[in-house]
Structures are given as structure tokens and as C-alpha cells.
Amino acid sequence: MGEMILQDLEKRLASALVAVKKDLASVRTGRAKPSIVEDVKVEAYGGVMSLRELATITVPDTTLIVISPWDKSLVAVISSAIQKADLNVAPVVDAGTVKISIPPLTEERRRELVKLVHQKLESGRVMMRQVRTDIKVELEKLEGESGVSEDDIKMWMANMQKIVDENMGKLDETGKAKEQELMTI
């Protein structure tokens, strides 16, 4: 029973780690990446769709993103959606495509983005702590059930903490890599 709960813990922590990595991918680093714009919401065909569902996003060099909509009538709508997305970039419509030039980041802006990364990492830690608390409550409920000893509970709690510590380490490594990427000119 405790092993199943620990497996659930691993799945939930892994999904929290994936969510934080996806959130960190949206932080602009001064290099052009499709992840900067692929989740921009665009009103098209009577609904709201993400940009990756409407166009091909390419990066021909480190300072340029080219968005080629499959339906050329959406170029103006995509350009407008990018401007409204508050990404601090200026899209340029050019012959059925939208081009975004990524300017180099200033030292001050890099430091602001590092602070943002730290905030996102802290929210990831909070998610992981909440998962740990939920799992701890589930393990404590097993106390007193037939076939479950105090030693079993202690062992599961120790394993739970070990799993949480490993995932917190992975989160910290991800944050350090993103911070290094931001500070590299």
C-alpha cells in the first residue's frame, strides 16, 4: 500500500517538475527560441488557439524568429496577438510571415529575469512541498491498519523524503542552468 502511495508521489513530483520547466522555457534569454511565442493565444476560426497550432515557427539564427501561418489570412491576427502577449518584442509582417527580431538583453534586464526565474523556482518548490504534505497525510492514515507496522510507516516516510529531496535537487539544477543561460552574453 505504501509503495503505491510513493509511486503516486513520484508521478506528481515529476509532473510538477515538467510544469516548472515549461514555465521557465517561456523566460526570454536573449536568444531566439520557438518556446518564446509558441504558447501565445490567437483568436482564430471562432475560438482561441495557441500559435503552434496555427503556424510553423522557425529560428534561422540566434536573433530571429520566423512564424509562417498555414492560413496566410491570419498573419495580421497573429501579429496583433504577439503584441498583446506582453513579450517585449515587436513583430514585423513580411510577405505572409511574421518576423520577430530578438534584441540582446541589457545587464539590468538579465538581473530582472534571474529574479523572475527564482520566483518561478520557488513556486515549483511550493508545489513539491504541497505534494509531500498530501502524501505524508496519506501515509499517516495507514497507521493502525492491519499488516502495517510503525517501522513500515517510518521506512515509507524516509523514502518519501528521499524522493522529494531528489526532485528538489533536479529543480535546483534546472534553475541554475536557466540562470547561467540568462547571464551568458
Give me the residue spans of the domains in the chain. Answer: 2-25+106-183, 34-101
CA gap 63, 53 in Å, rounded:
23
- CATH code for 34-101? 3.30.1360.40
pTM of the model: 0.70
pLDDT at 88 over 80: no
- Those residues whose C-beta lies under 8 Å from the C-beta of residue 122, and which sit 6 or more positions away, are none
> Residue 173 has what pLDDT?
95
CA gap 48, 63 in Å, rounded:
28
Choice between 86 and 141, residue whose per-residue pLDDT is larger: 141
Q: What is the mean pLDDT of residues 83-111?
A: 86
Choice between 39 and 119, residue whose per-residue pLDDT is larger: 119
> Residue 166 has what pLDDT?
96
CA gap 101, 107 in Å, rounded:
19
Same fold, 2-25+106-183 and 34-101: no
What is the tens place of the pLDDT at every residue in 120-173? 999 999 999 999 999 999 988 888 888 888 898 899 999 999 999 999 999 999
Which CATH entry fits the domain spanning 2-25+106-183: 3.10.20.30, 2.40.30.170, 1.10.3720.10, 1.10.132.20? 1.10.132.20
Choice between 182 and 135, residue whose per-residue pLDDT is larger: 135
CA gap 129, 11 in Å, rounded:
14
Q: Minimum mean pLDDT among 9-18, 70-79, 84-93, 153-162: which range?
A: 84-93
